[in-house]
Amino acid sequence: MALPLQRGLQAAAVIAAMALAHVVDGALSAEDDISAPFLREGVRGEPVVLEYGELEVLDVDAAQYLSHLRESVQASGRFLMVEVAGSGADDQLVTGTVRLQDEDGRTYATSAKAGCPRTLTFDAGLTGYGWLCFDVPPSRIDELDLVVGRGSDITDGTRRDEVAVVDLDLDGARAAELARTTAAYVAPQPGLVRQELDPVELEVAQP
């Protein structure tokens, strides 16, 4: 083989290797905390099967007030309440990541003041239930997905691990109804049986 042709083939091989590496790097970007191969997408009412457990969004409701330990708090917007059922596969599943995200990528953590659990724990082989409560702007209720994973964003643990992204599937009328709610509930606590929301009547504190 002529030397110029050989050199040309070698250069082409180097360029091809770099192009392949670029494709691989793009598909498994180290910059994304969650990348596509590890997302498990679902919709309310259907279970999402993960390698470490199973999760399902059962119901969505909203409240303006939540009561916990005889004290009631008002949401800045509305408390959007998401009922989740889940079970661990081989071990207890602790949801290190729980958040809502909208179409613009804006995220909402579970509300610290709501009195609901900030994370959920599901035993191996046993279905558990819990309501997660988020303080969200009423205008964003119709476009939210629930993101749940075993690892924590704080410790970078969601990278290269499966994460469930569940469409809350709220149509416009239902979202508008939830956005206007003035309901007050007892902040629900997790357990091994489903818990219906318990309405409370608020009393105005006397000065």
Q: Which residue has the tokens 């007050």?
A: 184
CB 73 within 8 A of CB 202: no
User: Is residue 190 a contact point for other proteins (CB under 8 A)?
Assistant: yes
Nearer to other proteins, 182 or 189 (CB): 189
Q: Count the residues of the shown chain that bind other proteins, applying the rule CB under 8 A.
A: 24
CB 75 within 8 A of CB 111: yes
| Among 53, 128, 138, 149, interactor with other proteins by CB under 8 A | 128
User: Which of positions 132-151 make contact with other proteins (CB under 8 A)?
Assistant: 151
Nearer to other proteins, 38 or 108 (CB): 38
Binding-residue pattern over the window 107 to 126 for other proteins, x denoting contact by CB under 8 A: -------------xxxxxxx
Report the distance separating Cα 104 and Cα 113, nearest Å: 25
User: Is residue 54 a contact point for other proteins (CB under 8 A)?
Assistant: no
- Using alpha carbons, select from 173, 105, 166, 184 the residue that is nearest to residue 142: 173
Least distance (Å) between residue 90 CB and other proteins: 5
User: Is residue 38 a contact point for other proteins (CB under 8 A)?
Assistant: no
